[in-house]
Amino acid sequence: MIVENTILNRLDDLGLFLGYHHTEQPLVIQLGGNNPDKLAKCASIAQEWGYSEINLNCGCPSNKVAGQNFGASLMLEPETVRNCVKAMQRVVDIPVTVKCRLGVDKQEGYENIHNFVSGIPECDHFIIHARNCILKGLSPAKNRTIPPLKYHYVYNLTKDFPDKKFSLNGHVQDVSQTKEIFTENESLFGVMIGRAAWHNTAMLAKLDDEIFGEPTPQVPVTRRSIIGQYMEYVDEIIATRNEAPSAVVHSGTDLALLKPLAGLLSGCPGASKYRKSLFQSEKRIAERNSNLQEIVQKAMDTLPEGILDKPISNVPNIDSDSNADIKGSDLLQEETKLSNVLAT
């Protein structure tokens, strides 16, 4: 998410926030804000930079964001959301979509998300994290795990609004679960995999075959070949950083460029040692006083022989709860806390 004022106050340095590599297209930009005029200006700028879609964030549970009356708190003001969507649609030719939750705080029933969707008739596509957001009492991390999932609410929306598109988000852990969700409701437009793909990047190797029915490459893709291609991408970004929108630019530090490699070995022998090696030079990386190729090679050298050259399609089975923010007895405590929060 990029906040409206961040863009409007940094018009001379937009590459830092809006820059991307051409291979990342089609690319969606998510905007945060509640001012229709400001959001319209940001949407116009984003379209000029070549983005394929504008998404309005109505689901962020951060107290800082909610305190400025955007993110999930916007679900309490559907008319404001509607005005923001219409303002952006007037100035761009690309789709304007909304990412939201099922409701906020004590808005527990299906009627809340139904009314929210019906109150924004101009929006054709809603991406819905299928749980409530508790603005007072739960941290952003716990808001991703504690409020109960209600996939059936999103399924019901596809029936009640057949002319609209709905994508489901929320604790989707792997490709198999994605297939199950599409099987349960063929009317869904999409399924969003979030942190699970970050923690176990290799799972994405199964998507083309199992979801889209595309044939598996004749030459097996390995983690070594993926890292090699990715480092070519990194070198190109570093060489041309902060250039014009049509060139290769990147927002963030060299450390940000390394982070996507962290989950590539998840579940494999030596993965922990690999990650530790990858980020042990964090201070040098943050200061851009580093040789990323050298750092990555050293991390690869820590792995047992043969791991990098196995077909990536052999994705290890990782416990779906292994990356959860809250586990075991902590979960019970937080569920009790949620009940207490909602009772007040």
At residue 198, what is the residue type? W
CB-CB contact of 255 with 282 (8 Å): yes
State how far the alpha carbon of 81 is from the alpha carbons of 92, 97, 150, 197, 278, in Å.
17, 11, 23, 29, 42
Dist CA 294 CA 301 (whole Å): 11
100 φ/ψ angles, rounded to the nearest 5 degrees: -145, 180
The string of DSSP codes covering 223-239 is HHHHHHHHHHHHHHHHH
Strands 96-100 and 2-3, bridge-based pairing:
unpaired
Catalytic residue numbers read 60
Is 29 in a helix, a strand, or coil? strand
168 φ/ψ angles, rounded to the nearest 5 degrees: -100, 140
Residue 138 burial (CB < 10 Å; 0-12/13-18/19+)? buried
The string of DSSP codes covering 266-291 is TTSTTHHHHHHHHHTTHHHHHTT-S-
Dist CA 326 CA 343 (whole Å): 22
* Number of continuous H segments (helices) and E segments (strands) in the chain: 17, 7
CB-CB contact of 67 with 74 (8 Å): no
Is 133 in a helix, a strand, or coil? strand
